């Protein structure tokens, strides 16, 4: 595994990695980071060979496999434990160990415990990925109250750099870890290759789309309840894996009672490569999540020129002022229905719709222009 000195090695550890999808945005954040910097450093990714629900991935386990951008990935089964992590640290000899997420005994605690002996020269970076938000902390709260003090001690002991993606996540971090060693504010790496459709004229009837995990965090049920309040023609197309079967059963009961004018289609999971084509076939992106640390699907929708309906708990704010979409209380079906009526009015006015479509694209482009991603990640991971 020798590489030229000019190409530092980064070992990225997270419980899930592509082709897994059920862990949602953090997988996308990791994969995009590897693609983005793969030409400047050697990435090694240690992950499980399972989906979040325990389904085995169709990948050979416990060996290094070639991936995109020159990276290598180990989908661990026997290696997902103390001996495996020790062996990987000794094999890779990383300059940087990049830990993704918070609540993983194997993916976070073990590297912090073992790196002092197995990779003593490595710098440590941890990205919480929104897992310190109030909404996240309230899920399995008792276990997290036991876990976080130990993690806090390890972070201080190992002098870990913590990467946050914005001011809100930084505030969340300081509430849990009052005296971190070092905090770096640096945005997520999104996919940048999505084009705005050449002729962005709305469809008749208007087409709404969501590409997301089917779980309470995305407020899919409230979207359907809001649509049930509408009496005008509209299509709603939903893509994504079912993370919570009980929640999906509640959604299906609302679907069965939707008005005849509301057309609903659930398409199931969507391959990453198919996302740009799907976005190009729709008019409005709908995802009023309870919280999003970044929201890759939201960014990609804006980049495609789709006016966005989301909540006030995502980074994408002041959308109505910018004529790029709407922010709404995602847990309030009545408020959501009112915004949907505004969106449908927009989609029935082709000239005004094209103005909003261009503005949506501008919001995404301005994020890219101001994020300083190449310089920021180069400094974070030690690339000149």
Given a cut of 60, is residue 4 above it in pLDDT? no
Q: How high is the mean pLDDT of the chain?
A: 92
Q: Which helix (H) or strand (E) holds 263?
A: strand 262-268
- Integer Cα distance of 296 and 171 in angstroms: 21
- Tell me the pLDDT band of 107, cut-offs 50, 70 and 90: very high
Query: Hey, CA dihedral for 11, 17, 22, 28, is it positive or negative?
Result: positive
- Integer Cα distance of 87 and 76 in angstroms: 12
Residue 246 burial by Cβ neighbours in a 10 Å radius (0-12, 13-18, 19+): exposed
- Tell me the pLDDT band of 197, cut-offs 50, 70 and 90: confident
Out of 73-82, 105-114, 147-156, pick the least confident: 147-156
Give me the pLDDT at residue 194, please: 87
> For 279-323, what is each residue's pLDDT tens digit?
999 999 999 999 888 999 999 999 999 999 999 989 999 999 999
Mean pLDDT of 244-249: 94
Token pair 């495609």 is found at: 304
- pTM score > 0.85 for this model? yes
- Tell me the pLDDT band of 145, cut-offs 50, 70 and 90: confident
Domains of the chain with bracketed CATH? 9-189 (3.40.50.2000), 207-368 (3.40.50.2000)
Give me the pLDDT at residue 6, please: 56
Q: What percent of the chain has pLDDT over 70?
A: 97
Mean pLDDT of 146-169: 89
Query: Hey, CA dihedral for 167, 168, 169, 175, is it positive or negative?
Result: positive
DSSP string of 282-306, one letter each residue: -SEEEE--S--SS-HHHHHHHHTT-
Give me the pLDDT at residue 90, please: 96
Length of the chain measured in residues: 384
Mean pLDDT of 325-344: 96
- Tell me the pLDDT band of 138, cut-offs 50, 70 and 90: confident
Given a cut of 70, is residue 384 above it in pLDDT? no
């Amino acid at each position: 595994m020798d590489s030229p000195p000019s190409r530092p090695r980064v070992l990225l550890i997270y419980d899930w990695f592509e082709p897994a999808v059920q862990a949602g945005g953090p997988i996308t954040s990791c994969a995009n980071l590897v693609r983005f910097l793969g030409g400047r450093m050697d990435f090694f990714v240690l992950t499980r060979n399972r989906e979040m629900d325990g389904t085995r991935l169709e990948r050979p386990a416990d060996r290094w496999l070639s991936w995109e951008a020159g990276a290598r990935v180990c989908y661990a089964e026997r290696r997902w434990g103390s001996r495996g992590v020790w062996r990987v640290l000794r094999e890779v000899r990383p300059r940087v160990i990049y830990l993704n997420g918070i609540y993983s005994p194997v993916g976070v605690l073990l590297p912090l415990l073992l790196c002092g002996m197995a990779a003593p020269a490595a710098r440590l970076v941890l990205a919480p990925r929104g897992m310190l938000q109030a909404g996240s902390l309230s899920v399995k709260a008792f276990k997290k109250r036991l876990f976080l003090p130990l993690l806090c001690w390890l972070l201080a002991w190992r002098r870990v750099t913590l990467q946050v993606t914005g001011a809100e996540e930084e505030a969340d971090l300081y509430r849990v870890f009052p005296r971190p060693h070092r905090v770096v504010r640096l945005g997520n790496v999104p996919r940048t290759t999505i084009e705005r459709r050449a002729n962005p004229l709305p469809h008749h009837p208007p087409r709404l789309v969501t590409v997301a995990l089917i779980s309470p965090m995305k407020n899919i049920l409230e979207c359907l309840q809001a649509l049930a309040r509408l009496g005008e023609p509209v299509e709603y197309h939903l893509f994504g894996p079912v993370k919570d079967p009980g929640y999906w059963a509640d959604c299906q009961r609302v679907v069965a009672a939707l008005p005849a004018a509301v057309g609903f289609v659930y398409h199931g999971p969507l391959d990453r490569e198919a996302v740009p084509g799907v976005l190009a076939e729709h008019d409005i992106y709908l995802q009023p999540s309870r919280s999003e640390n970044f929201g890759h699907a939201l960014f990609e929708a804006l980049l495609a020129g789709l006016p966005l309906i989301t909540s006030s708990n995502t980074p994408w704010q002041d959308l109505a002022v910018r004529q790029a979409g709407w922010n709404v209380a995602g847990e309030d079906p009545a408020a959501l229905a009112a915004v949907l009526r505004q969106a449908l009015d927009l989609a029935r006015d082709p000239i005004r719709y094209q103005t909003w479509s261009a503005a949506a694209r501008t919001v995404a482009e301005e994020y890219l222009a101001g994020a300083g991603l190449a310089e920021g990640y180069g400094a974070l991971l030690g690339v000149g």
